[in-house]
Amino acid sequence: MNTQQLVMHGRPVTRRRSLAALLGGVALAVAGAATAHAKTPPATRPNVVVIVLDDVGFSDLGAFGSEICTPHMDAIAADGLRFNRFDTKALCSPTRAALLTGRNNQTVGMADLPTELVRPDDHTKDRGELAKNAETLAEALRRGGYATLAFGKWHLSPEPEDGRPGANASLPLQRGFDRFYGFLAGWTDQYHPDLVRDNAPLPKPDAPDYHVSPDLIDRTIEGVEAVRSASAEKPFFAYVALGAAHAPIQVPRPYIEGYAGVYEKGWDAIREERFARMKRMGVIPPDTRLPPRNPSDKPWSELTEDERVVFARYMAVYAGFMTHADDQIGRLVARLKAMGVYDDTLIVLMSDNGAASEAGPNGTFQRLYREDKLSIAEIRARLGDLGTDKTQSEYPKAWAMAGVTPLRRYKAWPYAGGVRAPLIVSYPKLIRDRGAIRPQFLDVVDLAPTIADFAGVSFADTLDGVRQIPLAGRSMRKVLVDPRAPGRAVQFFELRGHRAITSGPWRAVAMHRNGEPFDHDRWELFDLSKDFSESTDLSAQQPEKLSELKALWFAEARKYSTPALSEMLERYKRRSRYEEFSGTTP
């Protein structure tokens, strides 16, 4: 394998090139053309590639101000647009449900994670299974003549569904994709993943140098090449959901060593450096304030020597994991260019939520979502195991604070640190002001309608006699070509009782404590036109505006979410297994 020197923000970073192609190909049957609904397809329709990163914070890409080396993703940004006000649902499954349906996750039954038990009589927002009457983007595109391919993380099917007949209703093939290769759960071991091809579970890979990220990109390349070989005129939709950079953070050692000496300065210094760089790059407004350190995140200066050594290594593994994923994305882009289809391909690259804080103040070393029995000194003695298959690790949550710079809190929180994520959209054939930053507000529900608009298809009002849930998102095509076009005006948020509402420049946020009445929640108010980072609460100065936004939240929630908020209280008395580690209790 070749080793390459890159210079990122003034310092050389040694980076191991991508792993060799692994395992054999999978034969792909291309679905036959179908008639589009409502719209006439344009003469030349773009191919579509949607790349979803996992638990990657707002500032974790080089194009958004990071010191992490991501040249291939940065190059996509240079050919396209970066959005600095793109909001998700703050958690993986809700975001992916909204992304693939164009509806709010509460409306399509994915208010939280997929259910552990399918309840046929449950038709509420808490069902934990995608609604059958919510046509997916893949289904709409396939009706419009696209080949539809999915690779990587799914995490939208109930846990009992494993692909067997009668236990696969929510798997990708049953929700509009022609082919699927990936994993069904929220995470998997990068070296020994639990993989599924179409509806069939596969043996764990046993190649000595195996890593799931290169494998997923190998399959993506094979898939799009098979489509083009079968028909040069048939457009494809490739949904590529990498495991990176969700824990376990695991990556070959050369990628880790490329960050030797970078993170020993600590999370406070990295956060301040990113903040200054983001201002210089124009990723954030020049008047943005850096909020104080999150209350439960220790200053780096107060750590012991063992803690500083161990915690710096955790972040080096994460950064190496990101660079490794970037290499794989680079291979895919290089192949699209070699095939002559890059300029005709709409690429959407995003993260599903803010950086993750689930590992707590010390991180996890041995196994995810379990308390470590090793002391920090014992972990230091085993530092060489970090990133290997001997550990299932995640970094300490203060690195997540740095990951969402300059925002507050992290994944699963209603503040911008939880919902705000990097979004890059590239379509060289159309976008003229390449490399620009768009400040328009977009929500993840807007992506599916935008993609469908470019493809010349519409979501169906009725399918097989079944009335479909109306879309909540709208096409943002004009925003891609006109920097003055308006973005989304209003969007509500709810996760585990925590709430938020955005209306124009205003945003209100309320944290909810489990088991307490919702009218005990304290709301905060922010003016985003003057306060990008939600640093200053204006609720005391602007009570009328806050009351207006609270009323708007209830109106939007009644429109898009059932049951009503007052009927949800019983649900939040039972904390999910996942929430025990999410750190979102105020």
Cα distances from 20 to residues 182, 324, 330, in angstroms, run 19, 12, 14
Q: What region, left, alpha or beta, does residue 55 occupy, with left being phi > 0 and alpha being psi -120 to 50 degrees? A: left
> Which tokens belong to 126?
């808490």
DSSP state of 394: B
Phi then psi for 153, rounded to 5 degrees?
Answer: -75, 135
Q: What angle do CA 488, 357, 251 make, to 5 degrees?
A: 100
Residue whose structure tokens are 């609270």: 550
- Beta-strand relationship, 200-201 and 3-8: unpaired
Residue type, 46: P
Residue 403's SS3 state is helix
Q: What angle do CA 530, 444, 160 make, to 5 degrees?
A: 135
Query: What sign does the dihedral 443-448-451-456 (CA atoms) show?
Result: negative
Residue 175's SS3 state is helix
Helices 447-455 and 92-101, packing angle to 10 deg:
30
> Which tokens belong to 232?
């040069």
Question: Has 155 been annotated as catalytic?
Answer: yes
Question: Has 69 been annotated as catalytic?
Answer: no
Residue whose structure tokens are 């640190």: 417
Q: Burial level of 405, CB count in 10 A (0-12/13-18/19+)?
A: buried
Residue in 72, 155, 211, 498 annotated catalytic: 155
Dihedral, CA atoms, 301, 304, 308, 310, nearest 10 degrees? -160
Q: Burial level of 265, CB count in 10 A (0-12/13-18/19+)?
A: middle
Residue in 69, 72, 92, 211 annotated catalytic: 92
| Catalytic site positions | 92, 155
